[in-house]
Structure 1
Amino acid sequence: MAEDPQRNFRSHYYEKVGFRGVEEKKSLEILLKDDPLGILPPHYESHSAVLTFRKEQYQDLLQALQVIRFVQDSTPQVWVYLRMYQLESGTLPRRPSQSLEPEDVVFIAIAEAMEEMVENDVDAYWLVKYFVNQFNNKYSDSVAHLQPKSLEHYLNLEDSKLLTHLKTCLAMNKLPYDLWFMHCFAGCLPESSLQRVWDKIISGSCKILVFVAMEILLTFKIKLMAMNKAENIAQFLQNIPQENTDAIISKAIDLWHKYVGTPVHSV
């Protein structure tokens, strides 16, 4: 099946609750009340029930967290999402002040990015929850093999000279793998570029992460070749310039097509 360039993970989520062919940035509530394009989703009454359930569950979680004083009116929204997720998954810590686990840090990074993409808090929470659960359940075993094994393999095919330089500098083991692979580039790429990466993850391939990482290395090859210390290389890659990230993602997707193609469930 040919890939639709206009589809993204938000479209995928809305289809999960029954909406198709609509402008996904609008909230579900608005979609139920307003249809400016003349496109009515099928099975209207079932969608209303799903929407109501989502809202009620969100409010129940919020109220429970307020009662046990884990969230307040001043709590940042991404922390509210985290506490909701922890409450639902049975991982809520004994005290709000308890240090975050590494997976909590990842959740917050993804939630911060998602909050910039989605206008409605209820929708944002469900999208974050859906994305994190899918990534953890489907790709947790695969991600370990992507770093640095797969990255080295494909970089050697594209630019062996750059790979040799990074190895000579002992930089390959110091690249920001957590930021790239565990955070799925949240906090590294602007949201407009990030959602194109997440589209591929939702569609069934976490290998897109490898090609985004590789294209970042290729794009900034001249700068990286001028650096001889692993720490300097790692620091630069943790804070890459943001002005040309759309081009980076486009080239990364081309590389993904070149080496992987478009299998439905390729990891």
Structure 2
Amino acid sequence: MAEDPQRNFRSAYYEKVGFRGVEEKKSLEILLKDNPLDVEKLSTFSQRFPLPSMYRIHVWKVLLGILPPHSDSHALVSRYRAEQFDDVTAALKAMRFIHSATPPTEFYLRMYQLESQQLPRRTELRPPDENDENFLSIARAMEEIVDDSVDCYWLIRCFINQFNHKFGDSIPHLPKSLEHFLSQEDSCLLSHLKMSGGLDSLPYSLWFRRCFAGCLPESSLQRVWDKVISGSCKILVFVAVEILLSYKIMLMGMSQPEGVFDFLSNMPQENTDAIVTKAIDLWHKHCGTPMHSV
């Protein structure tokens, strides 16, 4: 039977945007047409397959609870979200916490502080602390991914709240997980990092508190956040492991912990897509894949 050129073109296109086959695209489209949406199946799909940009923001909003499972109420809920955004904006302007020249990320931080009852008095304003810097890093990355300011704020807010609620107790244990999996992948590199003091100087806050915001470019970061938002913080460990493996030669030549920290905090950006792809493969290798049917 002769090959269908149109089908071959479609297959090549779907591979380019993140699908390995037409059936995966059809599966996601079917899931997104359900009413109510099956959030568990959407979460499983996001863990098993990459989300192309045409669907990503919508899926994130559903998985983060910004939009409810019932699709017929999405328009109404979106309007309520926008109205709440406008109300908080007006309140912050009235209290003179923000003005026309306030950077969007600082604006989002003040909104978050007000809604979580953490807004300081204007007379007690201080430079950002570590938690504020974590928020601002994630906000800057999300701002590069999402064009609409209302969607951007709600995604930042709900992403951070979900991350802290679901994974807050697990984050302190991720460095040990990194050590465990690195020992299985490259014990020689692990030994060198231990002996040089580099293991204790890895940028854990950048990797595990900021979810690689400010470390990976947004094109790569989105694929990592797909997995975090769909329910896995362990993916952060495997991205960190793959970064170490990818720069093994350079790291093996470093004997000062400060050099390791500085290099990894400002790592090259040109091969991050390959690093994330290998990290996802490593994640599936060690943790398996969700068995829930999609």
Shared topology, TM-score over 0.5? Answer: yes
* 5+ residue gaps, structure 1: 21-40
1:90: how far off?
Answer: 0.2
Q: Does 1:121 align with 2:149?
A: yes
Q: Does 1:10 align with 2:57?
A: yes
Q: Does 1:237 align with 2:264?
A: yes
1:78: how far off?
Answer: 0.5
Amino acid of the structure 2 residue aligned with 1:220:
Y
Q: Deviations over 1:89-117 (max 9, x none)?
A: 00001127323232111111000000000
> Which residue of structure 2 aligns with residue 30 of structure 1?
none
* 5+ residue gaps, structure 2: 1-43
TM-score normalised by structure 1 residue count: 0.86
1:263: how far off?
Answer: 3.9
1:49: how far off?
Answer: 1.4
TM-score normalised by structure 2 residue count: 0.78
Q: Deviations over 1:6-65 (max 9, x none)?
A: 267523234355599xxxxxxxxxxxxxxxxxxxx952xx22211210111000000000
**In structure 2, distance between residues paired with 1:62 and 1:134:** 23
> Which residue of structure 2 aligns with residue 104 of structure 1?
132
1:5: how far off?
Answer: 2.1
- Length, aligned pairs only: 242
**In structure 2, distance between residues paired with 1:192 and 1:129:** 21
Tell me: CA distance 1:74–1:64, structure 2 relative to 1, closer, same or farther (3 Å): same
Tell me: CA distance 1:48–1:261, structure 2 relative to 1, closer, same or farther (3 Å): same
Cα contact 2:167–2:233 (8 A) shared by 1: yes
Q: Deviations over 1:122-178 (max 9, x none)?
A: 00000001100000100010010001x111100000000000000110111111000
Cα contact 1:204–1:264 (8 A) shared by 2: no
Tell me: CA distance 1:86–1:264, structure 2 relative to 1, closer, same or farther (3 Å): farther
Amino acid of the structure 2 residue aligned with 1:101:
D
Cα contact 2:227–2:233 (8 A) shared by 1: yes
Tell me: CA distance 1:172–1:264, structure 2 relative to 1, closer, same or farther (3 Å): farther
Q: Does 1:54 align with 2:101?
A: no
Cα contact 2:228–2:235 (8 A) shared by 1: yes
Q: What CA RMSD, in Å, does the superposition of the two structures yield over aligned residues?
A: 2.0
> Which residue of structure 2 aligns with residue 144 of structure 1?
172
**In structure 2, distance between residues paired with 1:195 and 1:252:** 14
1:82: how far off?
Answer: 0.5
> Which residue of structure 1 aligns with residue 202 of structure 2?
175
Cα contact 1:79–1:108 (8 A) shared by 2: yes
Select the residue among 94, 97, 111 that pairs with 1:70. 97
The structure with the greater share of residues assigned to helix is: 2
**In structure 1, distance between residues paired with 2:251 and 2:198:** 10
